[in-house]
Amino acid sequence: MLAKANRLKKKKDFERVFKIGRGFKEDFLFLKNAKNNLKSSRFAFIISKKFSKKATLRNKIKRRLSELIRLKIPEIQKGIDGIIVIMPGLEKTDFWELEEIINKLFQKAGIII
């Protein structure tokens, strides 16, 4: 689970990232990121019921992504707000494939040091 300092929660922060952020897509993930004026990077996940009607499956994917982001926090630039939108089709990937997708996505966005 991500630390509280690394979670994006407020509606105004979501709106700001969607308004001024840049978007990057890799397989079934879409990353929207923007700079913030903080010393930490914050992330949030959006997964709709189109992905799966089962909350357990949606939560499983969010837990996996959260853990991957938690492990990558030291490598990620400081002062980034990111929203990861999960699209249908990702449920077929395992943890290691998901890690590769996240790595490619962050490299494409240029947020890994």
- The reported pLDDT for the residue numbered 91 is 86
- The reported pLDDT for the residue numbered 25 is 96
∠ CA 86-13-18, nearest 5°, is 50
User: What is the C-alpha to C-alpha distance for residues 101 and 74, in angstroms, rounded to an integer?
Assistant: 18
Structural domains for the chain: 4-109 (3.30.230.10)
**The model's pTM:** 0.92
Question: Which one, of 98, 104, 48, lies nearest residue 68 by Cα?
Answer: 98
| pLDDT tens-place string over residues 26-85 | 989 999 999 999 999 999 999 999 999 999 999 999 999 999 999 999 999 999 999 999
3 state DSSP class of 19: helix
